[in-house]
Amino acid sequence: MNNLKERQEVIEYSIKLNTTNLSPLRSGNISVRGIEDGIEGFFITPSGKKYETLKPEDIVFLSLSEEKDFLSWFNSGKNPSSEWRFHQDIYKNKRTAHAIVHTHSPHASAVSSHGKSIPAFHYMIALAGGDDIKCAKYATFGTRELSQNIINALEKRKACLMSNHGQVAFGYNLKQAFELAQEVENICQQYIIALKLGKPKILSFAEMEKILDKVKNYKSG
């Protein structure tokens, strides 16, 4: 089978979505950039399958230009995650994105239900690439509108919340993307706790600029 390494890696991290409680059951999806038969694209989890049952042949390869509606996918023998479109658009718009992790993690999903960005109440916000973590506007899952909203929220950033939905993070590899998703979940949990005590102090833009410079190579491996 072609690209066995990439397919197995997608399965490995998909299972971690469940074991780390970043996404329960079949929720969330994972992909990694790759090339198959000379065509640039990405390998993504299939729709509706439990992660622990996945086999390498279940992982779907899509090119960066491939577009079909659900019935056409079904008839073609491919069954990619219903969220394939925003994975495709992130890869097309972010050359540094080599892996994407989308989760319905509990605290990130809870914070996303308010439809607001997370301000710099903690310096670790910088790991997502900016002085806040944006929240993409709500749109129905799997739509072009949602994909565009995510691209907007990811401007100069590597992760964002998705309103009334969850979060998405990308990285140079799956390990990096997965760890960023874990960091975002942890930040959201801390933010919920901080809000219980009142309005948290927000770090200044000048301070966050210094932090952003310091974390450029943080967890780069």
d(CA 82, CA 114): 24
Residue 153's φ and ψ, nearest 5 degrees, are -70, -25
Token reading at 217: 């190579």
Token reading at 215: 């974390």
Token reading at 207: 């301070």
| CA 56 to centroid of chain Cα atoms | 21
Residue 207 designated active-site = no
d(CA 123, CA 111): 18
d(CA 90, CA 93): 5
d(CA 14, CA 112): 22
d(CA 142, CA 161): 16
Q: Do the Cβ atoms of 59 and 44 come closer than 8 Å?
A: yes
Pick the catalytic residue: 12, 83, 155, 179? 83
- What count of residues does the chain have? 221
Adjacent-strand bridge partners of 32: 43, 99
Active site residues: 83
